[in-house]
Structure 1
Amino acid sequence: IVRNEVFLALGYYVTESSGHFSEYSPWFRKREDLLQEYCYRGTSWNTGRTNFTVEVREERARNFPQELHKFLTEPIDLSRGNEYASRIFNAMLGDGALYKFNGNVRNFGLVDNLPHGACVEVPVVAGKDGLMPVHVGKIPDEALPLMSLSSQIEEMAVRASFEGDPELVYKAICYDPLTSAVLSLREIRKMVDELFAFSKPWLPQFKGLK
């Protein structure tokens, strides 16, 4: 439902699932009525239902003993699935049959109006010569603002992690479309402080955390 709504409004179809895209944009999750309308209906594997991924992981944890027993006792299906990896390896290291897919690579002259070096998803051809991403030109103006903002936020977050700068993390999150649609700047500060306090044992690069 989310992807269809974006297509109707902006004229371009989102390749991400409705659930994920609802988290990347400011339009669908900021009120309970919007959640009910856009994120609790639909046929996608991930419609955006609140706590969906938590429920999936809890179910996997409950079923782990049975799944482990099945893995250890039943024949393993070795037929090729729909994942890219085996075809990429075959193209590069096997018989060399070219394989075309959409892949995440760094933006070195591939998308003209997104930041240099940012992660972009573009057509890629795998073969004996390696991975060959395809130049796609400019993102249309109607689709650019959200993509450009997300890319800049990601760049800030990565730099903050490498530099161990919690203040830059806060500033990056201030610009997050969904967060800024729901919370004030002070509320964002409080949320970031709480997340840092909880996650401190796993973030040794952030030396200045209280």
Structure 2
Amino acid sequence: MIRIAFVGAGSVVFTRQLLHDILSYPELSGAAIALHDIDPERLQVAAALAAHAVRATGAEVTVTATTDRRTALAGADAVVNMIAVGGHRATVTDFEIPAAAGLRQTIGDTLGVGGIFRALRTFPVLKSLAEDMAEVCPEAWLLNYTNPMAMNIQYLTAVAPKLKVAGLCHSVYWTVRGLCEIIGVPHDEVDVLSAGVNHQAWILRWQHHGRDLYPDLDAAIAADADLARRVRVDMYRRLGYYPTETSEHSSEYVPWYLGHDGEIARLRIPVGDYVAISAENLAEYKELRKVVADGGDPAGGWESDAAEYAPQVIHSLVTGTPRTIQVTTPNTGLISNLPQGAAVEVPATLDRLGVHPHHVGALPPQLAAPNRHFLNVVDLVVAAAIEGDPRHIRHAAMADPATAARLTVEEIWTLCDAMVEAHGDALPEPLRRAPVVAGGAR
């Protein structure tokens, strides 16, 4: 039977949801699940949650927990990655230092200065994970949830080209659910085509029994002035296609909003939002830890109708059940007007043989343009890590639309200096060096 490894299982709330979804499939009876985390305390809490879930569902699975990653990976058929390198403390750093320099962020985990440095401290762990998988489970699928998704998948493709990897994110699912609620159409009756890059993909088609639903959305927006006060509704009205991430996320990937006080007020953008979200996640973990330590019942805490993709991939690998999900994957001509090899998000079919991305063709040009700006940053961050060139960190920040709209070039370089110093040993040694500047001191 299938063997599944969870890497970063100390993300206990997410681990609990994934376990709930996996245990809900009778066909996965007999599965072996190995939990891994480098934090023994978090791993203990995850193991307790898993044991409770198994008892509550009566599922016939075996669950083990270990701080030794290679032990967890050995013989795995699927590896679910959800690590958060640096945890809450690193997240606070990613916000406080840029904020002191005058840079506004909302989530900071995908693009911008926060996304750049989250990637750079995550890449070394991804590389060692890929190396371990090549030795102890070379045929396994790596199902990655860790952000920044596009940077992580593009980096893995570069350093481990034989690795079978798919980036998974539920943003398209929840976007479509939300849109259907706005216009009062059953979600399970609509057909959707979405493509672009993770956190900045686009709803290209959205239909109910063959009827285009965008006119219904237009009517809803026209009738509700409050609905129009959202970043992604504003983007939809101007670009013609709805973006697939929240307004908080979407505001960070373009130069149009966060640099303007009036736009922040008009569109109700919650600057610094993710610091509070991260703190809430930490508080929820501490509550669970206390329940477990006191011998209590850590019941509940999951979405009964969740659409997490990793359990669906695993179920299809075992049963051959065909289904379609969204994945981030290298662009092998899948989106013809985005760069070859870039990490793009497209539909993919699942079956017993794995994950099969769909060819989409060309995006409308007004959509491909912001995607290319997004992918420019991704390219430079990956180049910084592979080449060991600290200049490319600064180049990536200079290319980032929201950062460049807010800071001067010298301010960007000074901010990157401060971020490198703050993250210290979490970054590879070559990237901690002072960048060599053409023509002497800057």
Q: TM-score w.r.t. structure 1 length? A: 0.88
Is the aligned partner of 1:131 residue 2:355?
Answer: yes
Of 199-208 and 185-194, deviating more is 199-208
Is the aligned partner of 1:82 residue 2:304?
Answer: no
The code of the aligned residue for 2:338 comes to L
Greater length-normalized contact order (CA 8 Å, ≥ 6 residues apart): 2
RMSD: 1.9
Matching residue of 2:328: 104
Alignment of 1:41-120 (within 5 A): 48-70=269-291, 73-74=296-297, 76=299, 81-93=306-318, 95-120=319-344
Of 70-79 and 176-185, deviating more is 70-79
Q: Which of 415, 421, 427 is residue 191 of structure 1 equivalent to? A: 415
Structure 1 residue 76, shift from structure 2 partner = 4.3
Could you list the per-position Cα deviations for residues 3-46 of structure 1 after superposition, in whole angstroms to 9, with x for gaps in the alignment?
A: 110111111110111111100011110022221222x3xxxxxx
CA distance in 2, matches of 1:167, 1:184: 16
The code of the aligned residue for 1:18 comes to S
CA distance in 2, matches of 1:118, 1:207: 23
Q: Secondary structure at the match of 2:376?
A: helix
Alignment of 1:101-180 (within 5 A): 101-180=325-404
Q: Secondary structure at the match of 2:430?
A: coil
Q: Which of 255, 259, 262 is residue 30 of structure 1 equivalent to? A: 259
Q: Secondary structure at the match of 1:172?
A: helix
Structure 1 residue 168, shift from structure 2 partner = 1.2
Matching residue of 1:16: 245
Structure 1 residue 150, shift from structure 2 partner = 1.2
The code of the aligned residue for 2:409 comes to L
CA distance in 2, matches of 1:33, 1:193: 30
Is the aligned partner of 1:209 residue 2:433?
Answer: yes
The code of the aligned residue for 1:165 comes to D
Aligned residues: 201
CA distance in 1, matches of 2:250, 2:327: 18
Q: Secondary structure at the match of 1:139?
A: coil
User: Going by fraction, where is strand more abundant, 1 or 2?
Assistant: 2
Work out the percentage of aligned pairs sharing the same amino acid. Answer: 29
Residues 7, 13 of structure 1: 8 Å contact kept = yes
Could you list the per-position Cα deviations for residues 146-169 of structure 1 after superposition, in whole angstroms to 9, with x for gaps in the alignment?
A: 101211220111011122211111
Q: Secondary structure at the match of 1:143?
A: helix
Of 195-204 and 7-16, deviating more is 195-204
- Structure 2 stretches lacking a partner, 5+ long: 1-229, 435-442
Residues 102, 122 of structure 1: 8 Å contact kept = yes
Change (3 A) 1:56 1:175: same
Q: Secondary structure at the match of 1:206?
A: helix
Could you list the per-position Cα deviations for residues 72-123 of structure 1 after superposition, in whole angstroms to 9, with x for gaps in the alignment?
A: 6226458673211111100112x22112111111111211111111110000
Change (3 A) 1:76 1:99: farther
The code of the aligned residue for 1:73 comes to G
- Structure 1 stretches lacking a partner, 5+ long: 41-47
Could you list the per-position Cα deviations for residues 158-191 of structure 1 after superposition, in whole angstroms to 9, with x for gaps in the alignment?
A: 0111222111111121111001111111111111
Structure 1 residue 64, shift from structure 2 partner = 3.1
